[in-house]
Amino acid sequence: PAMATSTRKRKRDAAVKLVPEDQQIFKGLAFYFIPNDDIAPARRIRIRKAQEYGATWTRALKQASHVIVDNSLHWKNIELILSSANGAPSAVLVNETYPLDCIQFRSLLNPNQNQYYVTGCPDLPSKALPSEESAETSHRAESLAYKSVPTNSKRRDYMPPLRTLSRDDEPAEKSNGEEGQEVGSGSPQHRPSTFTRDSTVEQRDPSDRERGTKFDSLSVRRDDELAEYISQMQQLRGLPLEEEEGGAGHHDASEQAEAAEADSEDDDRSQKKQKTSRSGNRKNITWEDRFACHGARTKDGHQGNPNARTIEILQQMCDYYSRINDTWRPIAYRKAISLLKQQRTKITTAHEAVRLPGIGTRLADKIEEIVATDRLQRLDNAAHDPADEALQLFLQIYGVGSTQAARWVAQGYRTLDDLRERARLSANQRLGIDHFDDLNTRIPRREVEALAAVVRGTAVKVDADMHLIVGGSYRRGAESSGDIDFILTKPGTSSVSELRPLLRGLTQALEAQGFLVATLVGTRHERGEGGRTWQGCCVLPSSMASDAAAAADGSGAPSTPTRSRPIWRRIDFLAVPETELGAALIYFTGNDIFNRSMRLLASKKGMRLNQHGLYRDVLRGPGRVKFTDGELIEGRDERRIFDILGVQWREPHERWC
């Protein structure tokens, strides 16, 4: 089929159907397109439309009256073409928008308008227009000349002649109070403009009137300035206006991001408030300093923060939007929380909050509401929603995501018993419900160390060279963890296939000891690279569990167990070759905001960072679709990745954002 398609003849284009002759605005003109082909479908349509309105598509630049350049091209891309081809000096250089606008307004427009300039084109002398256009413009100017003022006082449109004040009359008028009140206010700058029609406009250079360009105000009498402006606007009537710089169509990227964190119930309130200006109030910081990885601290570095209460409520709102599967609002809230953690003074007003980069006006209003009332109405409304309470409960079940949890809520389930009795559950979901309390209990740091000791002791028996690192929040120095992440590696390895037998042997040995009690995600060694992970549940031996519980209580002595069985804990193993160890440590240490900031910074610098390494020269297409993986710069050394990205080295316990 592919060969048949490639050898198929191209369908011959239909003949161009010309519009009526009186509508052929391009008649007598020759268009040269850059690129000068009809391969692109959009350009092919523009060429045919120009031909329908009388234009000739020329392949020789010397014969062109107009050179039409694609909007995607820059002046530096076409400068060599124009200089080497020695094109006609009278050719008009415009972008692809010009012929489309001419067709829309059914007339030849002025090509000197800013929206028709080629991007990067230097200021050139006024482009020459064809004689047909000059004749038409001249005819238009003559037709727009002033009509004679009616002299018959009985006619409806009769206007009495206005008296023009000269400079000599001004002092006399100021002294005459009655005349001053009759003509206008006492101050000349507030006096209404009055003028008499004279021959000033007709005496101007005809070429200036034809082009409708700027005029020299010094050559016109002061009392005729308004008449001159009216004359010019009459000549340009019906033509498209140029886009104003910084007008309503211009939006800052931060304003678009601000809409992502807007709440529907706050729209009316926000519209009533005067929008705070942000462009001139932002702190002057470099773009690199805006990344959270540059401002990371220790876990205790944020204690005593004056914005602690604001951060707490915003975090609850962030968690709520994450539960309901909102895409953009959690990102905006996480960014605001990270910024507030770095502040040494309390942010109390919306004006102060909006000055922080990345905080919009609506989120700034919420910060002001929290400071003033110690609560947030939007959060209170969400907390009293029964469906949200069930959603929070279901999301804590292992193997349940936001989509599945929302589906159960929609089906009317509200408790774990409802799911056990009526819902169709997978094996992992049923395990997550049966051990719900265990898997949602934080693991004390002392217990993590006890679990790690059991794993390392077994690993030595499997392979003495095997190296195990506990990642996650434990590596950052947290007092407790949600689960335990082990990074398994071995010196001299460069691929996962070399580590897969070690991972399989370690898990089998731990299962034989009764340490691993459930397999949630196996190694799947038959699926190639998919065999790098193992996820499941583990339990401590009874003696070690008692010691860990005593240490967690702070008593130092074993306490009476309150459970008849050991507590189940979540445990994950990840096989990482030594060549990728540095990138994997960054990825599996966190926290998530720090990791996202590092990856975003790498992307802004034209690189790509993931758990395998740091890459450069990554080729991407529209929508950031990755075409090539790029060239690996560094993956082994954690410090070197920081150095390449220009980020100050931070120990694992300093990566709290």
Q: Which residues contact 626 (CB under 8 A, 6 or more apart)?
A: 618, 619, 620
69: tokens are 């350049």
Between CA 275 and CA 361 the distance in angstroms is 7
Between CA 505 and CA 442 the distance in angstroms is 28
The three-class DSSP label of residue 534 is strand
Residue (of 147, 129, 112) closest to 231 by Cα position: 147
Between CA 289 and CA 604 the distance in angstroms is 13
* Residue bearing tokens 């996480």: 334
Provide the residue type at 419 as one letter. L
For residue 442, what are the CA distances in angstroms to 309, 349, 482, 542, 552? 23, 36, 5, 18, 11
Q: Are strands 631-634 and 614-616 parallel, antiparallel or unpaired?
A: antiparallel
Between CA 45 and CA 651 the distance in angstroms is 59
**Residue-by-residue DSSP string for 184-197:** S-SSGGGSPP----
Between CA 654 and CA 657 the distance in angstroms is 9
Q: Residues 366, 461, 604, 626: which is the catalytic one?
A: 366
Q: Are 552 and 444 in contact (CB under 8 A)?
A: yes
Between CA 18 and CA 287 the distance in angstroms is 54
The three-class DSSP label of residue 572 is strand
**Residue-by-residue DSSP string for 402-443:** HHHHHHHHHTT--SHHHHHHHS---HHHHHHHHTHHHHTSPE
From the CB of residue 104, how many other CB atoms can be counted at a distance below 10 Å? 10
Residue 366 among the catalytic residues = yes
* Residue 465 CA to its chain's centroid (Å): 46
Residue positions annotated with a catalytic role: 366
